[in-house]
Amino acid sequence: MAVARDRMRLALAALAADSNGGAVSAAYYAMLNAARAALSEENRYAKTHSGTWTLFRETFVVTQRFDADLVIQAERAFELRIGADYDAERITRAQAEGATELAARFVAAIEALYAD
């Protein structure tokens, strides 16, 4: 979770610096790393992005331990991140804010899974 929290801080810093693409990228990776951290708590691991999301759905959504809609939104953020990182797409402020807010909710939901 430490990596997910670091990426979340990077997303917020990028947003504050008007780096919309940077915010989207960091926000997506905050969610991916949070998902991987949750899976590791269950002794489950995936090597790829898609493998992580598939395994996460099987482990947490199918068992109703995690909100399916939140996972769907996180997976959709992948395409936005690809556009920002590789396709030089212009990311709007609204998209960056949305991705960052989504990541904050996702990371908080993962933390709530293991809060005692």
pLDDT digits (tens, 9 = 90+) for 79-109: 999 999 898 889 999 999 999 999 999 999 9
What's the start-to-end Cα distance of the chain, in Å?
16
pLDDT above 90: residue 110: yes
Residues 6+ apart with CB under 8 A from 14: 20, 22, 23, 25, 26, 96
Select from 3.90.1200.10, 3.30.70.1290, 1.20.120.330, 3.60.10.10 the CATH code of 2-113: 1.20.120.330
Per-residue pLDDT tens digits for 13-69: 999 999 999 999 999 999 999 999 999 999 999 999 999 999 999 999 999 999 999
pLDDT score of 114: 87
pLDDT in tens, 54-70: 999 999 999 999 999 99
Q: What are phi and psi of 88, to 5 degrees?
A: 55, 35
pLDDT of amino acid 115: 84
- Residue 116 pLDDT exceeds 80: no
Task: Write down the pTM of the prediction.
Answer: 0.95
Residue ranges of domains in the chain: 2-113
